[in-house]
Amino acid sequence: MRQNLALAKWRAGQQTIGAWLSLANTHSAELLAHAGFDWLCIDLQHGLLDYQDLLHMLPAISTTDVTPIVRVAGNEPSQIMKVLDAGAMGVIVPLVNNRAEAAAAVAACMYPPLGGRSFGPARAALYGGRGYAAEANDQIACIVMIETREGIDNLEEIVSTPGLGGVYIGPSDLALSLGLPPLGDTDDPLHLETVARILAACKRQGVPVGIHTGGLAYTRIRVEAGFDFVTLGSDAGFMMRAAAADLAAARA
């Protein structure tokens, strides 16, 4: 089966840089896949796209060795299984509050006997290649998001969930849960302390840990802090920053 290269790097202790896809555009997905990122995440939770867009964007990413990840809208087995059958090599599940919810997400990603994923890898078997059925459990990354007050309170039990492929911090929702403005890139001491707690808990359990950032400055900070995977930015963000900078320079 095709190797999940991002997951392999995390398991080997190597750091990776990825990007977020929030626009329903096949060409921009393919362009960013060719930019050299380790992984790309298609966002079905807050992105301006749906499952039909996913069916075009995943093959576009497949023109490269970039690992395709999908953030689903919620911790629903039917959603998780469907994006995996479409060819996602990792799933990010938002708003996970406790071990039971984390275990449910893992189960939806795993074929029996390790989980309850139904067999029907429509495109995944073609993309994943020979051996998909036998090897998918070891190559699919189930990544849960810790970003709520309850999730923080249950941190240790979540990160010790068997079969977990990673933990991803949503810093804006995390800020809201701490009573702060929803700013992901923040120097607030309470936010920094909480992020550090999650990072340390994951390191103790040997679970890959990632975090979202809004750009280069905080990506550098998170990489230096030891995060295994960091989001540099989004398709929309890259476009707007470049357009605004060039427009300002032209008008000057």
Residue 128: C-alpha distances to residues 43, 133, 144, 196 (Å): 21, 9, 22, 35
Cα separation, 56 vs 59, in Å, equals 6
Cα separation, 119 vs 19, in Å, equals 29
Among 46, 56, 191, 212, the one annotated catalytic: 46
Answer yes or no: 191 catalytic: no
Residue 148: C-alpha distances to residues 77, 166, 183, 212, 220 (Å): 21, 17, 14, 15, 25
Cα separation, 41 vs 52, in Å, equals 16
> What is the identity of the amino acid at 240?
M
- Backbone dihedral angles phi then psi of residue 145, each to the nearest 5 degrees: -95, 130
Check: CB of residue 124 under 8 Å from CB of residue 179: no
Q: At what angle do helices 235-251 and 26-33 cross, to 10 degrees?
A: 90
The set of catalytic residues is 46
